Structure 1
Amino acid sequence: MHHAVRTARIHPLSIPDREREAALLTAFNQGDMDRVLALSEALPETETTLLLRALALRAANRLHEARSLLTRLTQLAPRTFEYWNNLGLVARESGDVETAAQALQQALTLAPQSADAHYNLGLLHLQLKNWPAARESLLGAVQLAPDFIEARLYAAHASHLCGDNFAEEAMLENAASWPPLPAEQALMLASMLSTLGQQETALHALDQAALPQDDTAQALRGRIIAMRALLHERGNRLDQAERELAQLPLDDVSTQQPELACAAWLAHAAVAARRGDRERAAVLYERILALAGDTEVRIQAAFGLAAARDKQARHSDAWKALQHAHATQLTVARAIVPELMAHDSEPLAMADLCVSRIEHDRWKPLASPRADQSPVFVVGFPRSGTTLLEQMLDAHPDFCAMDERAFIHELTERMNFAGQPYPAALAGLTQIEADQLREVYAAMVRKTVPNLGTRRLVDKNPLNMLCLPMIARLFPEARIILCLRHPCDVLLSCYMQPFRSPAFMVLCSSLERLARSYVRAFEHWFNQAEIFAPRVLEWRYESVVTRFDEHVQRLGHFLDVEDAAPMARFAEHARSKGYISTPSYAQVTQGIHGRAVHRWHAYREMFEPVLPILRPMMERLGYTDS
């Protein structure tokens, strides 16, 4: 992936009082690099003339010549960090990553508080696809220079790739007020904002994107159109998506511009799939897989192809596409979570964190909110119908959902960071500490849902089922709804989703891993539920589909709601809401149907090896393998 770079801040050493050198510096400050090159040829080689000529050569894309001059400067003045920083920048751009790494490390040794050096090292790590190191360097640059927009953008990008949603959101917090960005950067920003649900800010970033004044402008303009179409599709505005794509007809797209071609095909395929034209979508996804070099694009296309072939009942082809998708995802995960690559690794580390009955007996009594002052927690293994239930609750005027947020998990991380190991330290929490944790949670909620008012919060995060100790400590009176669905349908649906979390990429990379983690998650849940005895409603997907009205009333009764009727109008509510963060954003706008029940039967051959792992838990949950 190409990354725009920021020229390092230049602090010339001394400008001799000579007319030509003064003219040279003036030309550089005015951005007249051709004049800098012309003037510098006739001047003696001082540090100043060498530096300005090197930077002018870089601007002219004569990178090898620029690198040679900057290398000489580091030899002439080895304690001057700017020379090392610029050498690192130019070496990276010319493809000499070894020299770039050595030069930037030396720059940081000389000036550890230089945001520019941290930034350039972060860009090098991005180029090398070393995402965790890139994230660390770029976040370091932002810490030193909070208003450094390019550093915030790429720090968000590295955090996005690492699955660090909190850091990504923090880096993009004020993105709506950023100045116009170059088109390439605006596309990156819009893509990230889309995953955070900030569709309007993403569209605004594209509207004000600055196109280059060269022959790449047309392709970038086409990619912006394609991104706008994807944003509208993601927000369930299909008519607007099609109006955008009318400006980018497929006949006008050439494989000579692969990035534009893949962007256009991806957008056309997404809209075609939503309109039910699965063959057209599949053909376009196959074109992308034959052409795209970008890993993320290939992953999107492979999962899209699998979904299209599945709906066509071409299950063998769907499975092949899924295997390709997961193999590609694992190349990303391997760079971020190498410790999870072992066959027996456990991506759901929270499943190991339990409170025993003896430990629970040592908990100090604490004052806590009443049920009507507590969130309603929607939990369950991912792809068990949690989004459907969330939208039903959100459709009722007494409730407000906030999309999928890991706020409860964040509280466990904060405890660990403060030297209070979770969950053991829950026993010794004081009233003040518990209140502080609730206030941290409330602050995160207010930031996400500023207009909550008197409505009850719906905290839907499936894997909060692994955080029951924290919920029980802070909100012991809270209502919890456990979503259930046939385990094989759950696993198939997880296997077909392009999850962004690196740990989840690993978790979903095979049915065997999924099956073992599913069992461990429910073993954890049952163990902790027996100890804490929370107020739980089991919400079984198959029963809801067949007896919807009955279950709406049952839900209302559990939540002490007099009139549950608005919950039945969830599909209309979801369509008007626009953006929904989870992969079910399209399905929940269609209302109740049974097409997702027993979907796994079409892939039974693939499930046979994992049924022995699942069968005991299936029986406990009331399901069979027929």
Structure 2
Amino acid sequence: MQAGNTLDNQLSAAVEVFESGELKQALQMAQELCQRNPGVSIVHNVHGVIAAEQGEIQAAIDSYQTAIALDPGNSDIHFNLGNALRAKGDVQAALTSYRAALELKPNDPDFLFSVATVLRGEGEFNEAEKLFQHLLKLSPDDHTAHNGLGWVLLVAGRADDAINCFRHAVKLQPDFAKGHDNLCEALEKTNQTDELKKAVAYARSVFRLDNIWLAVRQAQVLRRDNELEEALKALSSVVRFNPAQAQLNSTYWYLLGDINDRLGNLQAAYEAFATANNWAAKTAKGRRVEAHKYIQRLDDLQTAYKGVRRMASDNSTSQRGAPQLVFLIGFPRSGTTLLDTVLLSHSKISVAEEKPMVLDMLRLVRTWQPDQFHNHEQLTDEQVSELRDAYMTSLKQHMGDQPIAGQVVVDKVPLNITNVGLISKVFPDARFLLVLRHPCDCVLSCFMQEFGLNDAMANFLDLKSAARCYDKVMSLWTTYREALPLRLHTVKYEQVVADLEATVSQVLEFLGLDWEDAMADYKSTALERQRIGTPSYHQVVQPLYSRAKGRWQRYRAQMKPVLPVLRRWVEMHGYPVDDDNR
């Protein structure tokens, strides 16, 4: 290669070629510089930048790590390494590198933003909020920082504060598409329909409707008004799907599937849902999740609990003024959100919706029993007490202003059905509300639903894996029922829809409470909630409807391959079995 008389000139030449877009030539130049100057950190850093742009992420990581070994106090190289690790999908390692950069330059806006963004993605909302707040003190007119803080607040359940952040972001930068989109997202998920319409109208005055995110928001508004043909028309304006926007593409196709389903265009709906799931698998989370690990966990737990016959405990763990804990469980899309919203309308019931108290207990157990699945019978009294304290500490943190003392507290995480062994060991006085829905409707609805992906939800990206997951979950539940003395009441979604008051009255009797008239107006409760943290947010403010009951029958042709797996549970849960259900 042609080189100048100094290393600086040679580096400048490589960078100039890089900036001109000749990536392969620039990469070759940088590689030759690394070979001739192995002890110069900046050379390896430049090679890493060019390699990353070329898509050679591992080569970039190797170069950055070499550069850091030579110059550990260079914050920019730590930051570059964080970017490369994040691109690779190694989020925790990326976070470590970002933190190292931030420690060296604690007031660098780029470092603050990146660390806060990764923390937000990892669910570390308190720390992310602090960093965004710090960033805004340094850069109060940074519209991206207002937007980032808004998303943290929205996920944390502080919807009004989040909406204010998004509004401020688009005020600072009117053509900031992400700010507009997040504002619409917050208004949609908090069921503020009138404000959503205003936000979409404003966005339409700034952007073209063929922007995919705007087409989605316009279609959501039209769906709420039941203008389904117009919603379909709005979505049809989109003709290009950027592979780099897999999450947004996925959302588009889920919405298109739902609208076609409502219109009775069944094959088009099914194909749209399948396309949505394919895009979901291509998102950053979709590439990281491992559905088979969740299935293996269920198998391991079932093996661990086979043969267990735990005796009922005579020792109460409840303390004076402590809440009565009720765990609302079931398979996803069984109707748990509807039931918890109705129960929240009761003056003596508080609801913790999709909060990680049980997950916090599981993390603590793994520090004692790493890489193994046990039936929890060997937990000592001291360990059980520590787990109970960890749960209650987490509960108080996540309940916010909701009262706890003396209340019935409903902990609603449907898939805690798989953690009943641990829950009942720690809280032998706890009650369990199991919500069932026809297995075929349940599995089909999971396939059709846009979930935040993790190892469990990744099983819903195709019908066969969704049916297998249902079978594994219910098999484990059957093992728990044989092994454990549970205080249990079972509710069927179809019964709630058919006769709300009678069905919920039976639930209240199980909880030792009486019916309150306010419970019939559960839609008002839903509208008052800051954010319904489940995919059912737009359904629980609608009148009770039977559209989804028996939906699977309309998709019998598509469901046929999984019916043999589900037939066993159709029978066991007491649903009618027809001859074709095999």
TM class by shorter chain equals: 0.7 to 0.9
Contact 1:497 1:583 in 2 (8 A): yes
Contact 2:30 2:46 in 1 (8 A): yes
Query: Which position in structure 2 is the counterpart of 1:447?
Result: 397
Q: Does 1 or 2 have the higher relative contact order (CA < 8 Å, sep 6+)?
A: 2
Q: Residues 83-102 of structure 1 correspond to what in structure 2 (within 5 A)?
A: 83-85=43-45, 87-89=47-49, 91-93=51-53, 97=57, 100-102=60-62
CA deviations 1:427-466 (Å, max 9, x no partner) are 2323322121122212222221133342332210011100
Contact 2:311 2:485 in 1 (8 A): no
Cα drift, residue 89 of structure 1: 3.5
State the TM-score, normalizing by the size of structure 2: 0.83
Query: Which position in structure 2 is the counterpart of 1:142?
Result: 99
Secondary structure of the residue aligned to 2:451 is coil
Cα drift, residue 381 of structure 1: 0.3
Secondary structure of the residue aligned to 2:282 is helix
CA deviations 1:280-317 (Å, max 9, x no partner) are 32233343363443111110101010001001111111
Cα drift, residue 480 of structure 1: 0.7
Moved more, 422-431 or 487-496: 422-431
Q: Residues 91-490 of structure 1 correspond to what in structure 2 (within 5 A)?
A: 91-93=51-53, 97=57, 100-110=60-70, 116-127=76-87, 130-131=88-89, 133-142=90-99, 145=102, 150=110, 154=114, 166-167=123-124, 171-172=128-129, 175-176=132-133, 178-179=135-136, 180=140, 182-183=142-143, 187=147, 190-191=150-151, 194-209=154-169, 219-220=175-176, 222-249=177-204, 253=208, 261-288=211-238, 290-293=240-243, 294-332=245-283, 335-337=287-289, 340=291, 347=295, 349-354=297-302, 355-356=304-305, 359=308, 368-369=317-318, 373-419=323-369, 424=374, 426-451=376-401, 452-454=403-405, 455-490=407-442
Secondary structure of the residue aligned to 1:384 is coil
Cα drift, residue 56 of structure 1: 10
Cα gap change, 1:610 to 1:574, in 2 (>3 Å): same
Secondary structure of the residue aligned to 1:483 is strand
Cα drift, residue 605 of structure 1: 1.4
1:493 to 445, 470, 474: 445
Contact 1:364 1:429 in 2 (8 A): no
CA deviations 1:505-528 (Å, max 9, x no partner) are 531122222122212211211211
Cα drift, residue 145 of structure 1: 4.0
Secondary structure of the residue aligned to 2:238 is helix
State the TM-score, normalizing by the size of structure 1: 0.78
1:509 pairs with 2:458: no
Secondary structure of the residue aligned to 2:376 is helix
Cα gap change, 1:432 to 1:144, in 2 (>3 Å): farther
Distance 2:80 2:7 in 1: 26
Distance 1:86 1:184 in 2: 28
Q: Aligned pairs, how many?
A: 562
CA deviations 1:533-588 (Å, max 9, x no partner) are 21011011111211211122212111111344333322111012141010110111
CA deviations 1:384-412 (Å, max 9, x no partner) are 01111111222222222122123313322
Moved more, 555-564 or 478-487: 555-564
Contact 1:289 1:301 in 2 (8 A): no
Secondary structure of the residue aligned to 1:567 is helix
Amino acid at match of 1:369: S
Distance 1:168 1:55 in 2: 41
Amino acid at match of 2:549: V
Distance 2:555 2:255 in 1: 18
Contact 1:262 1:288 in 2 (8 A): yes
Contact 1:363 1:427 in 2 (8 A): no
Moved more, 143-152 or 307-316: 143-152
Distance 1:605 1:616 in 2: 19
Amino acid at match of 1:335: R
Moved more, 455-464 or 355-364: 355-364
Cα drift, residue 123 of structure 1: 1.8
Query: Which position in structure 2 is the counterpart of 1:30?
Result: none
Cα drift, residue 58 of structure 1: 11
Cα drift, residue 185 of structure 1: 6.4
Structure 1: which 5+ runs fail to align? 1-42, 256-260
Contact 2:326 2:432 in 1 (8 A): yes
Contact 1:190 1:205 in 2 (8 A): yes
Amino acid at match of 1:446: K
Distance 2:550 2:310 in 1: 42
Secondary structure of the residue aligned to 2:409 is strand
Contact 1:138 1:151 in 2 (8 A): no
Contact 2:113 2:135 in 1 (8 A): no
Distance 2:370 2:311 in 1: 16
Distance 2:369 2:70 in 1: 33
Cα drift, residue 488 of structure 1: 1.1
Cα drift, residue 150 of structure 1: 4.7
1:539 pairs with 2:491: yes
CA deviations 1:122-147 (Å, max 9, x no partner) are 322444xx32x244322453377476
Amino acid at match of 1:353: L
Contact 1:176 1:201 in 2 (8 A): no
1:520 pairs with 2:468: no
